[in-house]
Every structure is written in C-alpha cells, then in structure tokens.
C-alpha cells in the first residue's frame, strides 16, 4: 500500500487553491466517495484507503491512468469495480477539480490582462504629462 504522510498532504494543501482544498476536505466529497464505494460493494475498511489513493492521485503521486490498477493490486478491489470506480471518480471528483483549476487560470489571465491595460493607461498618461 502506498503511503500518504501528513507532511505530503500539508505541503500539497499549502500550494493548493482554496476552492480545491475546500472541495477535497468537504463532507460532501467524503459522502460522494463513500457512496461510490458502497454502490460497488467495496467494504468500509477499504473506503478510507480509496480516499487516500484519490488524494495521492490529485497530488500527482499516482497517475490517474494507473489508479484502477492501484486499486486492484494494492487494495484488492476487483478489476471491474476498480475500473467503474475510476470512471465515477473522474466524473464526480477530478472533473470538478479541473473546473476549479480552469477558473483560477482564467482569473489569473484576466488579472494579467487588466494589469497590461492599466500599464498602458499609466504609460499614456505619463507621456501626456511629460509632453506638456
């Protein structure tokens, strides 16, 4: 089984956007993971490890492409259930995280664009003042 240390999680959360952090640590996300696992017949003892593996994947420690195999080999989840679980994780968790990151990137680009516009205004005003 792969290790998820408090230090790894702490380092990740320090650099993680606030929206992503809130989503990952939310009660709703925990319930979503629990429900996905329960619907696939995954026992309660394994569900906490599924959550850890999802976190490891979000952190980049386990590539998403290898997550089903990790569930199967490391956690003993049957192959079919592992594949279905990864599809649900992609739909209900990873897709939402992607949206948060895209929104952050769009906001960053907008801020950069606004800064460039303000810089031009400042330059133009400065030129006008110095020409007088």
When divided into structural domains, the chain yields a total of 1
Contact between 62 and 83 under an 8 Å Cβ cutoff? The reply is no
Residue 125 domain flag: no
The phi-psi region of residue 41 (left if phi > 0; otherwise alpha if psi is between -120 and 50; otherwise beta) is left
The two three-digit tokens of residue 56, written as one number: 């490891």
Give pLDDT, residue 125.
Answer: 52
User: How would you write the pLDDT of the chain (132 residues) with one tens digit per residue?
Assistant: 777 777 888 888 888 888 888 998 999 999 999 999 999 999 999 999 999 999 999 988 999 999 999 999 999 999 999 999 999 999 999 999 988 888 777 776 666 665 555 555 555 555 555 555
Q: What is the pLDDT of residue 104?
A: 74
**108 belongs to a structural domain:** no
Residue 61 domain-assigned (yes or no): yes
- pLDDT at position 72 is 97
On whether residue 69 sits in a domain, the answer given is yes
Which range marks the domain in which residue 70 is found?
6-97
User: Which of 17, 20, 31 is closest to 55 using CA atoms?
Assistant: 20
**DSSP collapsed to 3 states, 10-71:** HHHHHHCCHHHHHHHHCHHHHHHHHHHHHHCCCCHHHHHHHHHHHHHHHCCCCCHHHHHHHH
**Does 38 reside within a domain?**
yes
Is residue 123 a part of any domain in this protein? no
pLDDT score for 53: 94
Sorted by sequence, the CB contacts under 8 Å of residue 58 that are 6+ apart come out as: 12, 20, 24, 94, 97
The reported pLDDT for the residue numbered 123 is 54
């Amino acid at each position: 089984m792969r290790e998820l240390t408090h230090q790894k999680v702490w380092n990740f959360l320090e650099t993680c956007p606030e929206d992503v952090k809130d989503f990952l640590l939310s009660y709703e996300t925990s319930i979503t993971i629990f429900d996905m696992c329960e619907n696939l017949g995954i026992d309660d003892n394994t569900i906490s490890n599924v959550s850890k593996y999802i976190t490891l994947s979000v952190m980049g420690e386990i590539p998403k492409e290898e997550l089903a195999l990790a569930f199967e080999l490391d956690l003993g989840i049957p192959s079919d259930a592992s594949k279905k679980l990864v599809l649900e994780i992609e739909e209900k968790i990873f897709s939402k995280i992607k949206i948060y990151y895209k929104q952050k990137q769009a906001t960053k680009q907008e801020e950069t664009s606004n800064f460039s516009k303000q810089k031009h205004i400042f330059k133009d005003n400065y030129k006008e003042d110095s020409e007088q």
